Each structure stands twice: as C-alpha cells, then as structure tokens.
Amino acid sequence: MPHSLYVLLRTGLSLLVVAVLMLHASGQIPLRLLSQLELYAYDARLRLTMPGGVDTRIVIVDIDEASLLQEGQWPWPRQRVAQLTQNLFNDYKIQVLGFDVLFAETQSNSAVSAVDQLAQGALRDNAAFQQQWTQLRPQLMDDTVLARSFKDRAVVCGYYFSLDTQQGNASRVGQLPSAALPISALGRAHNPFSAATGYSANLAAVQDSAGSGGFFNSTLVDEDGLFRRLPLMMGYGDQLYEHFSLAIVRRLLDNPPVELIRADGYASTDGGSGQRIEALRVGTFDIPLDAQGAALVPYRGAQGSFPYVSATDVLQKKVDPQLLEGAIVLVGATAAGLLDLRATPVQNVYPGVEVNASLIAGILDQSIKYRPAYTTGLELALLALIGLLSTGLGWLPPLRALLATLTLGGAVLGFNFYAWQTHDQVIPLAPTLVLILLLYLMHSSYGYFVQSRREQKLAQVFGQYIPRELVAEMSRRPGSFALGGESREMTVLFSDLQDFTTLSEGLAPDELTRMMQFVLTPLTKAIHDQRGTVDKYIGDAIMAFWGAPLADPDHARHAVYAALDMKQRLEHLEPQLQSHGWPALKVRIGINTGVMNVGNMGSEFRAAYTVLGDAVNLASRIEGAGKHYGVSIVISESTRMAVPELACRELDRVRVKGRNQAVTLFEPMGTLQELDTGLLHNLAQYHDALGSYRAQDWKAAQELFELLANQQHGEALYNLYLKRIAALQTSPPGDNWDGVFNLTEK
C-alpha cells in the first residue's frame, strides 16, 4: 500500500474516533461505557480531594443498635421522642433539629384507651368526670405531646415523595409542609425538577407545630446505584417543595425566601430557546444545580465525618453538652433493620442521614461542585484540540510519542484538577483521557504492524549494508530516501588490508574465512557506528559511503572518524590475532568527498544499491596512494575541509592515473587535543620542509627532511621527499613547476 494511502487511512481513523467521542459529548450518541468511566473519574477526584476530619457543626443523634436495645424497637412512643426533643433544646441548647424519620401514623396510648372505656362505660353519666376528661385527654395523647414539643422550636420534619407513574395508585398520607415556591415562579425557564405523584408526610398536628419540612428521598440514583447528588426541589401539583437539607439550612437562617438564578441559552425540544435554572439562592448562599435540579453531594469522607451520639444517651443526658451546644442536630437511624443505608462513592454502606449532613455542610461552606453551563462546549473544544495534538504526536518516534502522550495526559489532568480544586467545576475527564489513550494505541499499533512491516522490507534491501538504527529512521521518514538513481554530494571510503595476499598464502581456506570474518566485523561496526553504508566487500577490501540512503550533512566528518576508528580497532585486535596464530594486519584507507550518483544500479538480473562517478574513482586511487606515502589513511582536500578540528599532514599534490585535475592529499592524525607537543612540533617542521620543497629551495628542504627522518615520525614519507629532492637537484623542473606529482600506479 502506498505511503500516502497509509497516511490517509491513519488520519481518517483518528478523525473517526474524535468524531464519535464528540457526538457522545454532545449527547447525540450516548456511550454507556464512557458514562460509567466518567462516574469513576468523578469518584476518584472526589476521594482524592475530600477534606477529611470531623465537622462538629452538625451532630447526628443516632437511632443505633444500642438505642434500640435500651429503648425498645422503633417506632418509639411519641412521648419519648418529645422527651428527646426537649432534652436537645432545653438541656443541650442546639440551634436546629431535623428529623430524618417520619411520623405518618397516629400512635395510640394504652392508658388513654383504658380511660376512654371508662368514659364510655361506667362513668358515662358522670358530668364532672366527662368535663375534666375532655380537657385532659388531648394533653395525654402521644401525638399531641410530640407536636407540643415542636412548638416554637427550630424543628424540620422529613417526609418522602413518590413518583408512581400510575397516579391513581399514588398514596397521599399526612400533611405536606408549606411549599418553597409556586411552579409559576419558574417563568419561562425550563423546569428541571421532577414531578411527584404522591407523598407520605407527617401527621398534620406534628407538621403544623414544626412549621418546616423537607423530603429526604432521592430519585436521582446513578446507573451504578450510587448516590452522588440530591434533588433540591421537587414539584407536586402547582408547587415546588424543598429537600430536607435545604429546609435545614433555611430554618437555620430564619427561613429566607428561595430565589431562582437563571441563565439564558436553554435549547427547548420545540427548537426554541429560553432560560435555565443554574442555581438556587438562599440568603447569601448560592447552591449550583445540574440539568435535573440536583446538587452534587460534597462528601467529607467515610462514615464518621460528623459526630455521632446515641439517641439513648441523649434521653439519659449522658452526652457532653459542649458537643451539642449551638449545633445542627439530625435525628436518623443507622441500625441495619431500619433500612436507612445508602451506597455512595466513598463507602458502599453509608447512612442516609450523613448524606444529608454532607449536603448541609457543603451549602454552608459553599463547596458544592458543579458542572458549568459551558461544559459541553468546553468538552467539545478539548476533544477537538486533543484529537489534533494526539494525531500529530502519533507521527513521532515511539519513545517521543510516549513521552509526548504522557505530557498531554498530564496537562489534561492538571487543567481538570485545577478547575475542580480551585473553581469547584466538574469538567468531564474520561472522554479526553480515553481519546488520548485510543489515539496513542492506534498510532502505536500502526507503528507496530505497518511500520514494522516497512522496516522488514527496508531491512531486506539495506539491512546488510547500513546499521539497524538507520533502517528504523528510514522507516519513520519514508520520503527522505529514494531507491532510484540521483546525484548528490557524498563521501566514499575504500579500505584494504596491507600485503594481505602475501600474508594469506600460508593459511588454509577455512582458516582464511574465519580470519576475514574476525577482522571485517569490527571494521564494519566502526563504519556503522558513524552512520555509514557498506556498499560491498571485495575480498579483504571494503567500500562504504556516507550521505545515502539518508541525507547526512556531516557525511565527510563521519567518514574520517570511521577511518580513524577502523585503524584503532585493528591495532587493538593484534593480540587476539597473534593468539589465533594469525599474522598482524594493517589497514590502508582512502576517502574522498564529491558529487556522485547513488541508487539501485545494475541489470535486470541483478541490481545493487551503490555509488558511481569520478569522485568514487578518485577515492579508490587515493586508497592506493597510501602505499606510496607509507601512511594508513589518506583523504582528499574536499574531505579535509569538513574536519577542521583534526590535525592533518599534507602529503602531496598529485595527479592520479586516469585523471588530469590535481588533488591535494592529507593524512588525518587525530584531534589537536589528542596529539602530544612533540608530534605537533614535528608536524610544523614537516610543513616548513614542504614549503621549502615547493619553493624549490632544495637545500633548506633537504636539511629539514633529513632532520625529520631522524625523529621516526613518518620516515617513509620523509625519505620519499629526500629521493625526489635528489632527483630534482640533478634535473631542475623549471620556473613553471607547480609541485604536482603524477601517480602512475593505482
């Protein structure tokens, strides 16, 4: 498949993933798995940032197992509940009392029933008794005693609404408290609140005495069965009624009115637009709402985030008064048999009364998280941006792509956490992280299946000639090389083992093969380490080039350093060669830089990726010239210009066989820092001698070369020049002599 088609396919799949997630974010294609992951992400952020500790402003009077054991099974006699109320207000001086229990049924008193039988029987005609009993009887009724204990006190009674869709079957028990608002107060705003069809409320006398009341059941349980939010209002008839927690806060604040905070931009189902309710305002407190009129519960921690006291201890006045004084008190049940336990993000079994306490504390602290009105737009923008960035990152090398993906994921998490912690905003997290992960996995899979296949194909063509890292780089950059012929500036190297033919005559064929493999392997490794391409092996010779198949701006430098490394590696092999009984070997290398043709060349029967041209032929001639000058490495002047950091000895200006243009030859000695002062001094003397030679000052040149020949730093070269000087003194070259020597041997 063409590379361009792979690019289109890869980009198209990325866009498809982004589009599906954006459709989910906009509500067009709900994906249940993503919704569940978002709930998990919300829970993780909630648990990580819960303040912990114990909030002593709200105390839970617990109808626990100890209370049931001491006081008897629930429901208790109303006189006992009245006594509990009186103790809390009179003895413990609490501020507000909320009952997270229901008083829906009349409770009979056995003593009153017995006197009623007397009043209807033996004492029926006793006028004085009947008059006294008529006045005394209401005061002895349990419900009346309870109602009287609520009178003129900050008491909030709880009840629950039902949402039975078959309204004919909906129950209507007890008396509802006063509504918080008429539904007409919504005006043209969309009504986010659920509508109840029935209710189970408190006895009329009890509710009238308490004055305040709120429903404590929630119809907004998430798909996984957890309570993360509570509806703050619910409609019944043409009225809106408040939640138990909201009623507690209002009672604490002396019942300020409930205000609806509206915002424009709600799109209705009929295509129109209007307002939406985004928050409730009670006094100075704003409570953000979601699209269903609910508030997220700001859990402080696991059960025990608020002080618990046993109800029986309150009845017996055993509680520390400092704990209850000025507190908001909620009466609720944690005993397992009373079924007031909930599943929450912080604990699977969590008392319902503490859920309400958490919401009350959140309202007072103004710490309720909320999803801003622009959440959908922001999520769509983030998905589009992340999709673009992730798709771009997918083209990076694997390690960089992984690091970039982790960085992008960290940035998303950081932004999300900042919005959560600093601004109490709940920005969707799961879709963006899923998008980053999916695109990374998709691009990684592409790299594994498609790019690996490309690498295998490239390895078949180039694997024997260039290092694996270059094959991988070619795979990542398919447009950076071409198999067809092209002309470019490159550097080519020829190497040969000196006197190898003579040395190998005494070796058996299999021994010769083993020695060649032993020697050529480290020499090839030196070429590969410098990003070189091995063109071919010709017996003991190696031909290599730099600058193809991948362009290399430092091709000349890499070639020279490879030559120096080859020479050093062969010197280090000498002890091992001797241990095998093999002769010591020396390498001779020639390097030239110039324009040459490179590509797959050959016939229809066989082709090879190679280089051709005059610059290649010159490199071959330069390699042979090393024998003439008695040096291991010879480079051309074009190559010398690429390595100014190296100390080089100018060998000669020559015309090689088959070429009219002269070329200056150099021997690279090493970096200036590597050479000792003696060798540097010797090199300076040599260049002075060479200058005198080219100026035809034969006497000065001869003296300098003789002095150098005694220092054993290239005596073969110095002796060569001494022979030339002797010949030129006998037969002077004339004034137009250019100092160029003609090499007649290859």
pLDDT at 584 exceeding the cut of 90: no
Residue 280 in 3-state DSSP?
strand
Q: Give me the pLDDT at residue 562, please.
A: 95
Cα of 275 vs its chain's centroid, Å? 38
Over residues 539-551, the pLDDT tens digits come to 889 999 998 877 8
Closest residue by Cα to residue 446 from 494, 404, 400, 395: 395
Q: Give me the pLDDT at residue 357, please.
A: 95
Over residues 556-576, the pLDDT tens digits come to 999 999 999 999 999 999 999
Residue 690 Cα distances to 649, 702, 739, angstroms: 10, 10, 10
Return the percentage of the chain with pLDDT > 90, whole number. 41
Contacts of 48 (CB under 8 A, 6+ apart): none
Q: Give me the pLDDT at residue 492, please.
A: 96
Q: Which residue has the tokens 């040096």?
A: 631
Peptide bond into 549 cis (omega under 30): yes
Over residues 118-170, the pLDDT tens digits come to 556 666 666 665 566 565 555 555 678 888 999 999 999 999 998 875 555 56
Q: Which residue has the tokens 């020697």?
A: 519
DSSP code of residue 85: H
Q: Give me the pLDDT at residue 650, please.
A: 93
Whether 622 and 654 have beta carbons less than 8 Å apart is answered as: no
Q: Could you tell me the sign of the dihedral formed by the alpha carbons of 474, 479, 484, 486, in that order?
A: negative
Task: Tell me the CATH architecture of domain 482-671.
Answer: 2-Layer Sandwich (3.30)
Q: Give me the pLDDT at residue 460, please.
A: 54
pLDDT at 463 exceeding the cut of 80: no
**Beta strands across the sheet bearing 258-267:** 258-267, 273-282, 285-288
Highest mean pLDDT: which range of 8-12, 418-422, 606-610, 739-743: 418-422
Residue 652 in 3-state DSSP?
strand
Q: How confident is the model at residue 300 (pLDDT cuts 50, 70, 90)?
A: very high
Over residues 368-415, the pLDDT tens digits come to 998 887 888 888 888 888 888 877 776 677 778 788 888 888 999 999
Q: Give me the pLDDT at residue 388, please.
A: 83
Distance CA 618, CA 661 (A): 11
DSSP code of residue 169: G
pLDDT at 481 exceeding the cut of 50: no
pLDDT at 458 exceeding the cut of 60: no
Q: Could you tell me the sign of the dihedral formed by the alpha carbons of 168, 170, 176, 182, in that order?
A: negative
Q: Give me the pLDDT at residue 368, please.
A: 94
Q: Between β-strands 96-99 and 155-162, what pairing exists: parallel, antiparallel or unpaired?
A: parallel
Distance CA 568, CA 572 (A): 6
pLDDT at 4 exceeding the cut of 70: no
pLDDT at 484 exceeding the cut of 70: no
Over residues 208-218, the pLDDT tens digits come to 999 899 999 88
Tokens in use for 374? Answer: 């622009």
Cα of 445 vs its chain's centroid, Å? 18
Over residues 133-145, the pLDDT tens digits come to 565 555 555 678 8
pLDDT at 715 exceeding the cut of 70: yes
Q: Give me the pLDDT at residue 268, please.
A: 44
pLDDT at 321 exceeding the cut of 80: yes
Q: Give me the pLDDT at residue 605, please.
A: 66
Q: Give me the pLDDT at residue 11, please.
A: 74
Mean pLDDT, the chain, whole residue set: 84
Q: How confident is the model at residue 472 (pLDDT cuts 50, 70, 90)?
A: low
Q: Give me the pLDDT at residue 418, please.
A: 92
Distance CA 85, CA 94 (A): 10
Least confident stretch, 238-247, 341-350, 460-469? 460-469
Q: Between β-strands 273-282 and 258-267, what pairing exists: parallel, antiparallel or unpaired?
A: antiparallel
Q: How confident is the model at residue 527 (pLDDT cuts 50, 70, 90)?
A: very high
Contacts of 356 (CB under 8 A, 6+ apart): 98, 100, 216, 230, 244, 245, 248, 330, 332
Residue 736 in 3-state DSSP?
coil
Residue 674 in 3-state DSSP?
coil
Least confident stretch, 92-96, 286-290, 710-714? 710-714
Q: How confident is the model at residue 87 (pLDDT cuts 50, 70, 90)?
A: very high
Q: Give me the pLDDT at residue 249, please.
A: 96
Q: Give me the pLDDT at residue 133, please.
A: 52
Query: What average pLDDT does range 582-592 have in this prediction?
Result: 91
Return the percentage of the chain with pLDDT > 70, whole number. 84
pLDDT at 65 exceeding the cut of 50: yes
DSSP character string of 361-385: HHHHHT---B--TTHHHHHHHHHHH
pLDDT at 451 exceeding the cut of 70: no
Look up the pTM and report it: 0.61
Distance CA 710, CA 703 (A): 11
Whether 560 and 668 have beta carbons less than 8 Å apart is answered as: yes
Return the ∠ at Cα 580 (arms to 578 and 582), rounded to 5°.
60
Least confident stretch, 356-370, 392-406, 577-591? 392-406
Q: Which residue has the tokens 């604040």?
A: 253
Q: What is Dmax (Cα atoms) for the chain?
A: 171
Distance CA 191, CA 387 (A): 36
Distance CA 78, CA 364 (A): 32
Residue 740 in 3-state DSSP?
strand
Query: What average pLDDT does range 667-675 have in this prediction?
Result: 86
Q: Give me the pLDDT at residue 25, please.
A: 78
Over residues 631-643, the pLDDT tens digits come to 999 999 999 999 9
